């Protein structure tokens, strides 16, 4: 019809025009013929009009039939798809869906006109922006995609549901069966066993292996003993998850095993979860084990995307009696020192007697070796200025530098020694650390996440009482050129550091602590001079007693908030926390005080409460008996509420 329509119409139009032209030419000559021609042309034009109308109607009817046929075919095709399909309008309401959608998703319900988001839990806006979305419905998991189309000024959304239930079932099975390496070690095994009888060693070994076998019996994994105190296990995710949910109960069970009836065993556990291969899992497990040992042992550590998760850690660290590691560290340090041009030493921000004392004692020993050594300190932000002044007055050798001067001086052949901290965020000068090409760390604090990971030597001993004790042990193994001994002021500085962190040899003291103190006394430390370093003014004493008097008891914890500011608040607050431990039925003390930019919490305990774990919940850290944290953007009242919540959480978890 499309080909005939133009030819016929053209013939009719030509005849009409020819008739009209002939009529005009004969007009006035033959009136009768002219009338006939005009009538004929009118008839032809009328036929053209009728023909055009008739054709147009047939054409429109044909197009309409084609559209209906196409719509019917599309609907029939979509209805026969083996996957659920639905169409929703701009109001997110159902306007059409196929049979399989009604069966699998609608479950026989009539959902025409129903709200889509109320029936199927999918956010349409999120689906459109992301292009796809997961939709769990009636025990199945669908991958939903959307296609938008417009018609007659209306918008529709066609939703296709692809059944991925089988895929996710396989993925879940694969995830649950993914193997993980777990490393278990017995803390201080050699030190504990060295004086035990053979029968006691055998009994302990049997009990330990039986405990680990019971631990593994609830899984389908296996465990291998690689040394007298180390076990390697392979566990699937499904079983590891239940162990994590149970918070590693094996840690509590291990403490019930006692050598000779009095020395309890403790485990440290490193978990290599989330690795793509067994080799990577082993590497992560070893890192976690190092973290557990660096925090004092008796705990399990898991590495996550956001850092580390810790379980346990309720026991006190057991002192290592062997000094073989210290001797090896001292020899390695001496080699580095002798090959360095200058040595710079620094501690943590707001340095105390332990930080400054360890730095001074080490600098004094290095100068005896003929090396050029400096201590970088910011006197305006230091809690041991009286010690700095005493050493300066006695030595008069320009030992102390500002952090800025040290940053300007340090070169490629120089070495930096960091004492009394291993956390990058707490360094006296982060810029000095960044400029140093060779770094050595000496610290006794429990290991934190943001530790210095590029140190040439990382001497970390969480069992030591103080950094000053560790430095005292190290300098005994140095080889000095002459017969000179350590100057008295340096010995006093080291002894002051030990006395500060042990609370005058009451807290965290071991055999090696008293051996270090005896050595310092031997080389000339004056206990009276050291005692004077701890003296306060009468005004400081009044402020300390004011803080103590304001304390309140919560869950066997003394909490005091200092609502005043003073230049010596950083000295007074920790002293007040120590004083609060003398109150009956107080297991831990917390003093909250404000400095210009932060709210600070100083925490102390006698060992019954692990204040390190409490402070870690608030972003800080430290030791089981001595810790602290800094809070930004909060008031003192808000800090008190956060502290009480952290105390209650730890009490709930028996920490």
CB atoms within 10 A of CB 498: 31
Give the model's pLDDT for residue 442.
95
Which residues is 622 bridged to in the sheet?
A: 627
CA 274 to chain centre: 14
List all residues 6 or more positions away from 282 whose beta carbon is below 8 Å from its beta carbon. 181, 183, 272
Of 167-176, 255-264, 336-345, 532-541, where does mean pLDDT reach its minimum?
255-264
Decide: 591 and 602 in contact? Cβ < 8 Å.
yes
Name the pLDDT band for 58 (thresholds 50, 70, 90).
Answer: very low
Name the pLDDT band for 73 (thresholds 50, 70, 90).
Answer: low
CB atoms within 10 A of CB 22: 17
CA 373 to chain centre: 37
The 10s digit of each residue's pLDDT in 559-618 is 999 878 888 888 889 889 999 998 988 999 999 998 888 899 999 998 888 888 898 888
CA angle 534, 536, 540 (to 5 degrees): 140
The average confidence (pLDDT) of the chain is: 83
Task: Give me the percent of the chain exceeding a pLDDT of 90.
Answer: 32
By C-alpha distance, which of 404, 403, 401 is closest to 372? 401
Q: How many helices (H) and strands (E) does the chain have?
A: 24, 25
The 10s digit of each residue's pLDDT in 453-485 is 889 999 988 888 899 999 999 999 998 876 778
The 10s digit of each residue's pLDDT in 18-53 is 666 655 555 555 566 556 555 666 666 666 666 565
Average pLDDT (508-515) is 87
| Most confident option among 156-165, 421-430, 448-457 | 421-430
Give the model's pLDDT for residue 39.
65
Average pLDDT (341-346) is 95
Helix H or strand E encompassing 466: none
Decide: 240 and 271 in contact? Cβ < 8 Å.
yes
CA pseudo-torsion sign 594, 595, 601, 606: negative
* Coil, helix or strand at residue 595: coil
Give the model's pLDDT for residue 3.
40
Q: Which pairing describes strands 342-346 and 621-622: parallel, antiparallel, or unpaired?
A: unpaired
Give the model's pLDDT for residue 655.
60
How far apart CA 214 and CA 223 sit, in angstroms, is 11
Average pLDDT (251-275) is 84
């Amino acid at each position: 019809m499309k080909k005939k329509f133009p030819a016929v119409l053209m013939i009719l139009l030509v005849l009409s025009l020819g008739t009209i032209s002939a009529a005009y030419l004969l007009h006035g000559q033959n009136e009768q013929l002219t009338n006939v021609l005009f009538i004929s042309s009118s008839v032809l034009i009328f036929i053209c009009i009728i023909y055009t109308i008739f054709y147009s109607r047939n054409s429109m009817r044909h197009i309409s039939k084609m559209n209906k046929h196409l719509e019917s075919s599309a609907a029939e095709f979509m209805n026969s798809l083996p996957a659920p399909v639905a169409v929703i309008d701009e109001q997110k309401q159902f306007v059409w869906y196929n049979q399989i959608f009604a069966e699998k998703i609608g479950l026989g319900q009539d959902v025409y006109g129903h709200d889509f988001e109320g029936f199927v839990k999918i956010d349409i806006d999120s689906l459109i922006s992301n292009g796809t979305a997961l939709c769990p419905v009636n025990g199945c998991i669908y991958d939903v995609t959307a296609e938008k189309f417009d018609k007659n000024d209306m918008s529709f959304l066609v939703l296709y549901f692809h059944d991925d239930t089988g895929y996710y079932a396989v993925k879940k099975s694969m995830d649950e069966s993914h193997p993980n390496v777990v490393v278990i070690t017995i803390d201080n095994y050699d030190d504990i066993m060295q004086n035990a009888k053979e029968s006691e060693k055998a009994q302990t070994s049997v009990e330990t292996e039986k405990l680990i076998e019971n631990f593994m019996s609830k899984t389908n994994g296996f465990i291998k003993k690689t040394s007298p105190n180390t076990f390697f296990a392979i566990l699937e995710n499904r079983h590891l998850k239940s162990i994590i949910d149970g918070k590693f109960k094996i840690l509590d069970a291990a403490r019930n095993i006692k050598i000779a009836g009095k020395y309890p065993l403790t485990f440290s556990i490193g978990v290599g979860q989330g690795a793509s291969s067994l080799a990577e899992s082993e590497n992560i497990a070893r890192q976690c084990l190092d973290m557990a040992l660096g925090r004092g042992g008796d705990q399990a550590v898991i590495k996550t995307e956001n850092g580390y998760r810790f379980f346990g850690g309720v026991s006190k660290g057991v002192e290592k009696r062997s000094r073989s590691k210290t001797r090896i560290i001292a020899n390695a340090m001496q080699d580095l020192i002798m090959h360095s041009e200058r040595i710079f030493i620094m501690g943590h921000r707001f340095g105390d007697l332990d930080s400054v004392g360890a730095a001074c004692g080490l600098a004094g020993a290095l100068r005896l070796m003929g090396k050029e050594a400096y201590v970088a300190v910011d006197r305006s932000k230091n809690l041991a200025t009286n010690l700095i002044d005493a050493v300066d007055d006695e030595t008069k050798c320009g030992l102390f530098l500002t952090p800025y001067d040290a940053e300007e001086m340090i070169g490629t052949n120089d070495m930096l020694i960091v004492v009394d901290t291993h956390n990058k965020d707490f360094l006296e000068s982060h810029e000095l650390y960044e400029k140093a090409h060779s770094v050595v760390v000496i610290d006794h604090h429990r290991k934190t996440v943001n530790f210095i990971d590029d140190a040439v030597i990382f001497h970390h001993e969480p069992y030591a009482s103080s950094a000053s004790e560790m430095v005292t042990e190290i300098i005994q193994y140095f080889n000095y050129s002459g017969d000179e001994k350590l100057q008295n002021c340096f010995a006093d500085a080291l002894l002051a550091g030990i006395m500060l962190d042990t609370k005058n040899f009451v807290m965290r003291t071991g055999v090696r602590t008293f051996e270090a103190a005896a050595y310092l006394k031997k080389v000339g430390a004056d206990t009276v001079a050291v005692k004077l370093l701890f003296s306060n003014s009468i005004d400081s004493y009044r402020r300390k007693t004011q803080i103590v008097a304001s304390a309140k008891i919560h869950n066997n914890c003394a909490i005091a908030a200092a609502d005043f500011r003073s230049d010596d608040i950083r000295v007074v607050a920790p002293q007040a926390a120590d004083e609060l431990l003398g109150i009956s039925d107080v297991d831990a003390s917390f003093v909250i005080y404000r400095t210009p930019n932060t709210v600070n919490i100083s925490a102390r305990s006698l060992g019954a409460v692990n204040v390190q774990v409490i402070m870690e919940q608030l972003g800080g850290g430290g030791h089981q008996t001595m810790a602290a944290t800094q809070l930004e953007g909060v008031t003192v009242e808000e800090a008190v509420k956060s502290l009480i919540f952290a105390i209650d959480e730890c009490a709930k978890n028996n920490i």
